Amino acid sequence: MEVSFTSTLVVLLLVMDPVGNIPVFAALLRNLDPARRRLVIVRECAIAFCLLLFFVFFGRTILDLFGLSDSSLNIAGGVILFLIAIRLIFQHPEGAFGTDSVDSEPFIVPLAIPSIAGPSAIATIVLVVSRSPERITDWIMALTIASTITLLLLLAADRIARHIGRRGLAALDRMMGLVLTAIAVEMLLKGIESFVRGL
């Protein structure tokens, strides 16, 4: 089954979860002055983008190096997405990715990784590229658009949090979790189907 540009963009946005990350970013960066906060957000989004871009080009090589099949990646990605979806639907005190708050300015962890470029985002991009490597330009564009939307939403995190409120953010998270659950189940079914056919 061919993967479309739009579905890839939507899945990337869901797994990067900019809306769900708004409370995390707001809490971890609350002690920084506004100018420094914007700089940190841009830096963390850039690091996450570069990491995911690395897996666009070298993800297949890494899979081949470890002898991993597309079916195993489908199943693993589906399991990870499903666990994240469950944490989105049934709110967890540490958020969907289990990130802990820290007093000092965060660097790479937990904002860039795993909040934005987590295992599910990496698995998604590797899986998409491995299915249609000839469309690598499309996948880079989808990743760039998803990363830009994530950056813009996180830069507006304080304003969005004030306008929507905690309940509004929680409702959006649950809605995204429901969509992500369906995607996770579909990935699992495709992985199982591929495995059974290979027997």
The Cα-based distances of 191 to 21, 23, 70, 184 in angstroms read: 29, 33, 7, 11
Q: What residue spans define the domains of the chain?
A: 15-197
Does residue 97 register a pLDDT over 60?
A: no
CA gap 84, 102 in Å, rounded = 22
d(CA 10, CA 187): 15
Please state the pTM of the whole predicted model.
Answer: 0.74
pLDDT (tens digit, 9 = 90+) per residue, 30-89? 788 889 999 999 999 999 999 999 999 998 888 888 887 777 777 877 787 787 778 767
C-alpha–C-alpha distance, residues 52 and 46, integer Å:
10
